[in-house]
């Protein structure tokens, strides 16, 4: 399965904050080293430099941010942080985000990619082993030396970005159409309700007797 990974810009701060807040406290500890409170998470996101760093996201069909990679560039390397919402784990999103981050760091001429993690972070350990990262025993640190960029790696990143842009555009169009459909449905329901003649004055509708039953009309739920 090909995962569309979109690079996020400065305007995505509220979305990124909402993603981190959607993580359970246990997962916040795995991601940040401690279970950050909402105010601390907001401060962390406000401190991200979207021009210097790279933030990549995976969105579901409703454009909810379900996976995130933050590549923070430093003088001698780039640090990577990954997070995936619990309901979306086991689908390979973490691996796909790692690959995207690796390609971007390599093409920027970064010599090394590293990850810090807390003890017991099994998903990050699996990713580190899968990509043959050098794991420092007892230090909760893994790093990978990156080869220089090549024409193939640059072209591959361009194709990845183009696919992600097309995917995001299509999802946005579908979401807009679904919202329009839902609003149109509510509008028709309102018109139909207004068109019905009112009950005759002095003749209220007969209430149901105790213990009686009535078939209720089923309303179709529109999912945005």
| 119-162 pLDDT per residue, tens | 888 899 999 999 999 998 767 899 999 999 999 999 988 988 88
- The answer to whether position 95 is within a domain reads yes
Over residues 29-68, the pLDDT tens digits come to: 999 988 899 999 999 999 999 999 999 999 988 889 999 9
DSSP label at residue 113:
E
Query: Among residues 130, 125, 143, which one has the least CA distance to residue 96?
Result: 130
Calculate mean pLDDT across residues 162-188.
76
- The answer to whether position 187 is within a domain reads no
First-last CA distance in the chain = 24
DSSP label at residue 24:
-
Contact, 160 vs 100, CB < 8 A?
yes
What is the pTM for the complete model shown? 0.75
- The answer to whether position 128 is within a domain reads yes
- The answer to whether position 64 is within a domain reads yes
Show the tokens assigned to 77: 């390397």
CATH classification of the domain holding 53: 3.40.630.30
Q: How far apart are CA 140 and CA 138, in angstroms?
A: 6
- The answer to whether position 153 is within a domain reads yes
- The answer to whether position 205 is within a domain reads no
Task: List Cβ neighbours of 122 (8 Å cut-off, separation of 6 or more).
Answer: none
Contact, 170 vs 178, CB < 8 A?
no
195-222 as b/e: b if 16+ CB within 10 A:
eeeeeeeeeeeeeeeeeeeeeeeeeeee
Show the tokens assigned to 78: 């780039």
- The answer to whether position 148 is within a domain reads yes
Show the tokens assigned to 140: 């909760």
The residue with greater pLDDT, 87 or 212, is: 87
Show the tokens assigned to 224: 């945005």
Quote the longest CA-to-CA distance of the chain.
Answer: 86
Task: Please return the burial class of 112, using the count of CB atoms within 10 Å of its CB with bins 0-12, 13-18 and 19+.
Answer: middle
Give the 3-state secondary structure of residue 54.
strand
- The answer to whether position 99 is within a domain reads yes
Query: What is the number of other CB atoms lying within 10 angstroms of the CB of residue 30?
Result: 20
What is the reported pLDDT for 224?
Answer: 41
The number of distinct structural domains making up the chain is 1
Q: Which domain holds residue 111?
A: 6-173
């Amino acid at each position: 399965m090909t995962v569309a990974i979109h690079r996020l810009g400065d305007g995505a701060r509220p979305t990124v904050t909402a993603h981190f807040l959607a993580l359970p406290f246990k997962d916040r500890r795995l991601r940040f080293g401690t279970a950050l409170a909402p105010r601390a998470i907001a401060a962390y996101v406000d401190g991200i430099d979207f021009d210097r760093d790279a933030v990549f996201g995976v969105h579901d069909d409703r454009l909810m941010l379900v996976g995130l990679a933050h590549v923070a560039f430093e003088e001698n390397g780039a640090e990577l942080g990954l997070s995936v919402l619990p309901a979306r784990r086991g689908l390979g999103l973490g691996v796909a985000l790692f690959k995207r981050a690796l390609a971007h760091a390599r093409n920027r001429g970064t010599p090394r990619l590293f990850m810090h993690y807390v003890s017991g972070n099994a998903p990050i350990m699996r990713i580190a082993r899968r990509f043959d990262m050098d794991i420092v025993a007892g230090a909760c640190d893994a790093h990978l030396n990156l080869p220089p960029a090549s024409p193939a790696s640059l072209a591959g990143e361009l194709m990845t970005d183009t696919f992600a842009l097309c995917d995001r555009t299509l999802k946005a169009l579908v979401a807009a159409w679904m919202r329009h459909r839902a609003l149109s449905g509510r509008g028709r329901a309102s018109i139909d309700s207004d068109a019905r003649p009112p009950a005759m004055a002095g003749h209220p509708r007969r209430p149901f007797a105790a213990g009686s039953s009535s078939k209720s009309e089923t309303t179709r739920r529109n999912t945005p």
